[in-house]
Amino acid sequence: MSNMTTDMASSRPKMKQHMGLKASRTIGNTLIYILLITISIIWLIPFVFIVLQSFRVESTHQVGYIVPQVWGLRNYTELFNSNFPKWYVNTFITALCTCILQTIIVLCMSYTLSRFRFKMRKPLMKVMLILGLFPGMLSMIILYRVLKDLGLTQANAVPGLILVYVASSGMGYYVSKGFFDTIPKSLDEAARIDGATRAQVLYKIILPLSKPIVIYTLLTAFMGPWGDYVFARYISNNTAAGMNVAVGLYGWLSQDQINKKYTMFCAGGVLVAVPVTVLFMCLQRYYVEGVTGGAVKG
Amino acid sequence: MAPAFPVKNGENERIRKKQGRGLPMTNQGLGTGAQTPQRKSPLIVHILLAQVAVVLCCLLTWYLCENVVKKQYSDATYRTELEMVDNNYNAMGYLKGENGKLAALQYDKISDVITKKPFYQEIVDEMGLLHAEELKAGRPLGEQDLTAGRLMERVTWGYDEADETGRTITIDVTYSDPAEAEEIGNRLAEKLNEILTDKSKLPGPPINQPNRIEHAGLIREPVRTGPNTLLWVIIAGIVAEGVFLTMAYQTGWKNKLTCIIMGFANLSRGQVLRGLLFFLFEVVAVGYMAFWGVGWLQKLPTLGTVKTEHYALKAGGQEVVTYGDDSFKILLYGVLTIFFIGAIIYTYYQNVKQGRLAAKIEAAGKKLKSGREDLRSLVDDQFHKTLLALPVTGITVFTVMPIIFMVLVAFTNYSGTFDGKENLFTWVGLDNFNQLLTWTAGGSGNKTFMATFGEILAWTLIWAFFATFTNYFLGMFVAMAINKKGIKLKKLWRTILVMTIAIPQFISLLYVSKMFDKNGIINSFLQNMGWIKDPIEFFGDVNNPWLSRITVIVINIWIGIPYLMLITTGILMNIPADLYESARIDGANPWQQYTRITLPYMLFVTGPYLLTSFTGNMNNFNVIYLLTGGAPTKLGAYSAGGVSAGQTDLLITWLFNITQGGEHLYYQASVVGILVFLVVALITLLVYSRLPSNKNEEDFQ
C-alpha cells in the first residue's frame, strides 16, 4: 500500500509523461500476466495430468491422450491389493520418527553452536563442513553391511532407515543456527543473572521463541524421508516388505511393469503427494521463512 | 614437573601412613618427615623403576601368551553333522560332536526319545566306545538339556514349528587331542553312512513312510589364529611404558595409583561419580582390548587369512560351508579399535589431569565438586556437552566411521567377488589409483577409467554450472515479475509455484521423465499436431547426447525455479527502495537498474548459497537418476564391472551404478568417491575464500 502512495507522489511532477508511462506500464504488466499464467500452467500441468490419469480405467498403459475415456476408481482400489499400503505405512512411520528425532538432534546441535563458545566449536564446525563434501552415498556401502548384520535391512528396513536418516542429521544445522543467531544474547544473559541454568534458558526462554524454526525443521525432516529414494533403495535392497513408496513406485515404472502399473503409479503418486502437500501448504509460512533465512546466512 | 603448592599436614601424614603399608612403586625415599609433597627421591629413580616395571610387564605378557592363551587355540575343532529329513522333508536332525565330552543329547520331543531310542542309542554307543565312562554315568539318554531354547538354536533351518515334525539331536563332545577328534569323527561318519545305506536301521516308527537320514559327515572347523606373541609383548611394552612413565611423574600416592586404577585420585578424594566413571571405562577398555581389540589389530595388516571352505559331507554328499575370517569385519573392527585406542588415550590423559587438579584443589583447601554438582553442571555450565553428546556420536558413527572405512576400501580389492566372506579381500596399495594415470585404452575399444572419468567430470561441471545459473537467473526473474508494482494476486502466483516444492521429487521427476518418453505425452502431442513424424527420443538417442543433456537442464529449471523464486523474493524486498529511486532520477533504465543495483546486491548476499548450490548440483542424484537413469548409454565407455557410464550420468550416479550393478566394484566406487570429494573440496576452497559476503559470523549477534 505504501508503495502505491509513493508511486503516485513521484509521478505527479511528470504529468506530461503520465499517459505514456501508464500505457507502457499496462503493456508491461499484461506481458507479465501472460508470462505468469503460462508459468502457472506449465508448473501445474504435470500434476493435473497425474490426477487425471489416476482415474483412467480403460487402459493401464501410457497413452497419447490425457482425459480418460472411462473414469473410475479402479486404480485406487487396485492399490490396496498391492504392496502399496505396506509401503505407505513404512514411509509414514519412517518419516514421522525421523522428523521428531531429527528435529531434536538438529536443534541441540544448532543451539549449541549458536550460543556456546567452547574450545572445540570451530574445529567441530570445520570438520562437519569437510564431511559434508563427501558423497554421502559412499557410506551406504558400509552402513548397509553393518545394518544387515544387525538385522535392520530388507524386511526390517524401517528402523534401519530411521537410524541412517537421524544419526547424521546434526550436520544440517545451518538454517536453524542462523535463526538462533538472530535471537539476542541479552535475553540469555538476563535469565542467567536471574539464576536460570543453561538448560532452563533453553526451555523457558529460547524454545518458546523458536516456534518458526522448530516447525520448519519438523517439516523438512518429514518431507525428506517421505520422498527419499536412494537410501531407502539401499536399505530395502529389493525386498518389497521393506520398501518405501519412492522405491516401490519406481519399480512400477520399470520396463517390465510399466504397462500394467502405469495408472496405478499415478494413483499412488496422488495418494503420496496429497497429504504432504496439504501439510506443506498449511505450514508454508514457516518454510518460506526458513528457506529465505537459511539461504542468506549460508 | 612437580607442582609446588602447600599441602596440609594431615594429608602428608596420611601419605606417610599409607606408604608404611608398602606400596610397590612409590615407597622408596618417601616418608621421612616430609613437609611438602615434593618428590623425595630424584625423578630419575622413578623413571628407572618404571623401566623395571615395563620389562616385568613384557615378560608377564610373553609368559601368558605362550603358556596360557595359546593352549586354547591349539585344539582343532571338529563337528559331526547328521541331518534327518522326515516324510515331509521339513525337519532335520543335527548331530554335533565337538570338543570332547558328551555334553548334551537333545531331542525335540520326549516321544521321540522313546520311539527312536534304539537308533540314537546306536550312534551314541559308537561314540561311547571312546567315552564309555560318560555314558555309564547312569543318566538316561535324552533327559538332559531338554530346554526348548537350546533346541531352537540348533535347528537353523527346515524345522517346522507348527506341526512339530522336527527331529533334532545334538551331541556336544570335547576332544583334547586333534587326532582323537579326527578319529571319532571319521568313525561316526562311517557309522552314519552305514545307517544311510541300510534302510532297516532307520529310526521309526513310520507314519506314512519312514524318516531317513539325509547326510552325515565330519566337519573341520577352520583353525583360529592364536595370539601373536610378539605383537602382544610390544603392545604390553608400549602400554606399560606409558602408564609407568606417567606414574613416575606424579606425586602423591593417590595420583600415582590413579595411573593404574583409573579414577582412583577422584574416588579417594570423595568424587565418587567421576572416579567410578573413569574406573568403569578402564574395565571396559581393558576387557575389550584384551578379548577382541588386539585380535582385530593383529588381523588388520592381512585382512584375514583363514579362507571359507565348501566341501561335501562324507555320507549323503551334502555341501557344507565353514566360514573363516571376514575381511569386512576385520577392517571395520580394526578401524573401530584404532578409534577406541584414541579414546582410551584421551580418557587416560583426562584421568591423570583430573587427578592432578583434584590434588591441587585439595591442597589449596577448597572443596572438590561433588557428583551432584557435576551432574548439575551438565545442565548448566557444561550444558553444551549434554546437547552435543547425541549429535556428535551419531555423526562419528554414521558419517566419520563410514568415510574412513570407504577411504581405506580404495586401497583394497573389496568388491562383489572379493566380498570378504567367500573370498577374502586384501590390501592392494595404490593399484586402484594407478588406473588414473592411463588415459589411452589398451586396444579393446573401451575407454579407460580415467578417460571416462574425465568425460563424466566435464559433463558434471557443465551440468552444475547450467543447473545453478539457469535456475538462479530465471528464478530471480520470476520473483521480480511477481514483485513488480501493479501485479495483482501476488500471493496466488507464489502459492502455485511453492506448491510444487511440496510434491515429492520422485513423483514429479518420474512422471515428467515418462512424459518425455518415446511414447509419452509430449511425443504423442507433437505427432498428433503433425509437427513431427517420428517420436523424438529425448533420453534414448545415443548419437545425440546433447538432446538428453539439454532436456535434463530444461526440466531442472522446472524443478528449481519455485525454490529460487522463494529465496530471491525475500532478498529482493530487502534492497533499499531509495537506491532505485535515485537511479531512476539519474535516468537509469530498468536494465541498468538491474545490472548496477539488483544483481550486485543479489550476488553479494547469495554468494555462499550459489556455491553450495553448485556443489549440490554436482551431486544432484535425484534429478539425473530419476529422469534419465544416466541414459543414453555411451558406447565403448569404460565399463566398471558391467556398468557402463551413461551420457547424462553425473559422477554421483555413476558411483551409485558401480556399487549396485554387475560386480559391485566397491573399491572403484570408493576411488570415484574420493575424487568427487577432491573436486568439490577444491572448488569450495577456491571460491569460498573469495566470496565478498564471507562475513564474520559474530556480526549477526
ipTM over 0.90: no
- Looking at residue B690, its amino acid is R
* Spatial contact of B497 and B561, defined as CB atoms under 8 Å apart: yes
Closest CA relative to residue B188, chosen from B126, B130, B125: B126
Residues in A touching B501 (Cβ below 8 Å): 280, 287
Angle at A86 between CA A84 and CA A92, to 5 degrees: 100
pLDDT value for B365: 83
Taking only the tens place, the pLDDT of each residue in A165-177 is 998 888 888 888 8
Locus of grid cell 605378557: B61
Q: Is A232 exposed, middle or buried (0-12, 13-18, 19+ CB in 10 A)?
A: buried
Taking only the tens place, the pLDDT of each residue in B139-169 is 333 333 322 222 222 222 223 333 343 343 4
More confident site: A282 or B542 = A282
Beta bridge pairs of residue B644: B639
**Which residues neighbour B568 within 8 Å (Cβ) at sequence distance 6 or greater?**
B475, B476, B479, B480, B602, B606
Displacement of CA A292 from its chain's centroid (Å): 14
Most confidently modeled range among B435-444, B635-644, B671-680: B671-680
Closest CA relative to residue B97, chosen from B169, B155, B152, B203: B169
Which among B381, B394, B525 has the least Cβ separation from residue A167?
A: B394
Displacement of CA B589 from its chain's centroid (Å): 60
Q: Is B406 exposed, middle or buried (0-12, 13-18, 19+ CB in 10 A)?
A: buried
* Spatial contact of A191 and A205, defined as CB atoms under 8 Å apart: yes
Q: Which of the residue ranges A100-114, B297-311, B430-444 would you say has the lowest mean pLDDT?
A: B430-444
pLDDT mean over B451-475 = 90
Our CA-based measurement puts residue B651 at a distance from the nearest CA of chain A, in whole angstroms, of: 10
Q: Which fold has domain B449-692?
A: MetI-like fold (1.10.3720)
Domain ranges of chain B: 77-220, 250-312+320-426, 449-692
* Spatial contact of B8 and B363, defined as CB atoms under 8 Å apart: yes
pLDDT mean over B635-643 = 56
Report whether pLDDT(B505) > 90: no
- Looking at residue B544, its amino acid is N
Beta bridge pairs of residue B311: B320
Phi/psi region, residue A81 (left: phi>0; alpha: psi -120 to 50; beta: rest), is: alpha
Best mutation target among B498, B511, B624 (most A Cβ atoms within 10 Å) is: B511
Average pLDDT of chain A is: 83
Average pLDDT of chain B is: 73
Closest CA relative to residue A127, chosen from A153, A147, A109, A148: A109
Query: What is the rounded CA–CA span in Å between residue B693 and residue B236?
Result: 54
Chain B 525-564, residues with CB within 8 Å of chain A CB atoms: 525, 527-528, 558, 561-563
* Spatial contact of B236 and B61, defined as CB atoms under 8 Å apart: yes
Phi/psi for B549 (5° steps) reads -65, -45
Does residue B574 sit in helix, strand or coil? helix
Residues in B touching A131 (Cβ below 8 Å): 395, 399-400, 403
Taking only the tens place, the pLDDT of each residue in B291-314 is 888 888 888 888 888 888 787 766
Chain A 226-255, residues with CB within 8 Å of chain B CB atoms: 226-227, 229-230, 246, 249-250, 253
Q: Do A108 and B388 touch (CB under 8 A)?
A: yes
Which structural domains are found in chain A, ordered by start? 2-76 (no CATH), 83-297 (1.10.3720.10)
Q: Do A64 and B519 touch (CB under 8 A)?
A: yes
Our CA-based measurement puts residue A19 at a distance from the nearest CA of chain B, in whole angstroms, of: 16
Neighbours of B111 (CB within 10 A): 10
